[in-house]
Amino acid sequence: MQTYNNNQVLERIPEGKEDYSAKCVNGTFVGVENEGVVSFKGIPFAKAPIGNLRWKEPCCTSPDNGIYEAYYNAKSPIQTLADSERASFYEQGEDCLYLNIWTSSGYQGQKRPVMVFIHGGNYGWGGTADPLYDGHNFVKAHPEVVLVVITYRIGILGFMDFSAVPGGESYSKSGNLGLLDQVCALKYLQDNIESFGGDKSNVTIWGESAGAGSVSLLPLIPEAKGLFHRIIAESGSIALTSGKEQCLILTDKLLKESGAKTMDDLLALSENQIKKINEKLNDDNNFPERDGIVIPEDVYGSYKDGIDPNIDILIGTNADELRYWISELGSEGLFKYQCRVIPKSHMNFMTPVEKDNLTAILKEEAEAIGDKSWAVSEVYNDIYFRLPAIKMAEAHSANGGNVYMYFWEKPSDIPNMGACHAVELAYVLNNLEDTIYTGNPADPLIASKVQEMWVNFAKTGNPSAGDLEWKGYDASSRNTMVIGDEIYQRQEELTKRDEALFPLLKYYLTSNTYFIFYNVPIIRKIGILTGFVAVELGSSVRKLFGGKE
């Protein structure tokens, strides 16, 4: 029988499956019911971006009267293997623009709030096949909402600037194809989500890390206007963007690695060639490009000028974001070594005055903490995550938008990881037994309360839950919900250190290791690092100085 990206093409809806099917513009899809939750996996929301559509803007799917299984995940986007990105071990391919939907039984004719989750992965990893993003448990606990998880092009296929390549003038938006894929998915949902019991007039886009960066940038894209109404951004913001100069470095590397001279040469590369090239370049993947075409060159200024004030925002960060990279690097020792390198690398792009200020701040922090490495970690938690979130929140609230801020303090049970990047995912997605970041199963009471707040926000725009009132955030009150062993609200105060660090945000956060470690020795896999011997332990230390958001 013919297959359709891991799912079979059917002649008719199987007997007894009528209540678990959904008619869409591009076909009728048949799902799977389990414990009152119906899942639909591998639904295409765009034409396959292959052949002449490689590095082109996504194209809408064509009308189709066919009937298809929606039982299995579609392919993951092309990426290198990484222990922390389990979708990377699933089948990969260029044909990756698919989404998954979970809705509770009896969805026909309903109008339920829609929550669209966009995965993280440093814009170079991730996919819907990651078990952490499975929506069954979430919808089982919250049958009043529809959960959608989408994928998008990443790495060299999703974020490449071809403006300097002969023939590249026809690829003016190629630096942000992954974001445009997300816009295409949201347009698809506007046309089809009612078939799954969703309310297209109540859509919340929700992401973590690069996914949070995505949902923060989508309000700046004109084509996305009206496609969503609320944003949940976990540990990511508009800071996760790249400038043109940074992006062109990767373009040059792609040309050298492939031997291509023109766009026609690049289009002639086979998928297998793309995979092999990506293995060598994935450490230097770009973030979305501040190209002045899809997203503005000054994203902070655009938020200050004002996005749609009718968009509600829930945003927050974790107390120990950077400690995620302890596991990425393979040991606390290697992490601390990287912390010694980070300031030098960041200072390569700062003015002398700001370099001096950062040096003084780091020295003061080290004296207070007693460990320079942890001091650096604390400061860069703020530069990379907390302070950009505050800037976004301040700007949107000042323009009349509703904003809610949280600060995650509940730690991982993995030694030294603290409240690291991504530790909250098992809690918010109700996959409590997925311990990749938590170490032990997530606390069900905390998870239940957090999910209640997230779902209430999606339903009404207000995350208050029961007797726990969540007050809005603005520059005067700075109301912040603290999520730890206890959940409570406090009023944050900016410190002198915060004020001194804010000017550094204009340098953004790059994922390109050339920029990060310019003039800093990079020794990968097995090497001697100033007295440290880095022994490769499987793929967990595959990227000693790369790391993923």
Cα–Cα distance measured from residue 13 to residue 532, given in angstroms and rounded to the nearest whole number: 61
DSSP symbols for 69-95 = E-BS--PBPS---BTTBGGGGS-B-S-
Report yes or no: 266 and 258 within 8 Å, Cβ to Cβ: yes
Place of tokens 């089809």: 192
3-class SS letters over 363-426: HHHHHHHCCHHHHHHHHHHHHHHHHHHHHHHHHHHHCCCCEEEEEECCCCCCCCCCCCCCCCHH
Cα–Cα distance measured from residue 411 to residue 382, given in angstroms and rounded to the nearest whole number: 17
Active site residues: 209
Give CA 216 to chain center in angstroms. Answer: 10
Question: Pairing between strand 403-408 and 312-318?
Answer: parallel
Cα–Cα distance measured from residue 228 to residue 131, given in angstroms and rounded to the nearest whole number: 25
Cα–Cα distance measured from residue 29 to residue 21, given in angstroms and rounded to the nearest whole number: 5
Report yes or no: 303 and 391 within 8 Å, Cβ to Cβ: yes
Report yes or no: 481 and 489 within 8 Å, Cβ to Cβ: yes
Cα–Cα distance measured from residue 116 to residue 99, given in angstroms and rounded to the nearest whole number: 10
In our burial notation (b when 16+ CB lie closer than 10 A, e otherwise), range 199-232 reads: bbebbbbbbbbbbbbbbbbbbbbeebeebbbbbb
The packing angle between helices 372-381 and 352-369, to 10°, is: 120
User: What single DSSP character describes residue 465?
Assistant: B
Signed CA dihedral, 422, 427, 429, 435: sign only: positive
SS3 233: strand
Cα–Cα distance measured from residue 161 to residue 276, given in angstroms and rounded to the nearest whole number: 20
| Encoded amino acid at 318, one letter | N
| Encoded amino acid at 220, one letter | L
Residues ≥6 apart with Cβ < 8 Å to 333: 532
Cα–Cα distance measured from residue 41 to residue 74, given in angstroms and rounded to the nearest whole number: 7
Rg (CA), the chain: 22
- For 1, half-sphere exposure in the C-beta direction (CA atoms, 13 angstrom radius) is 13
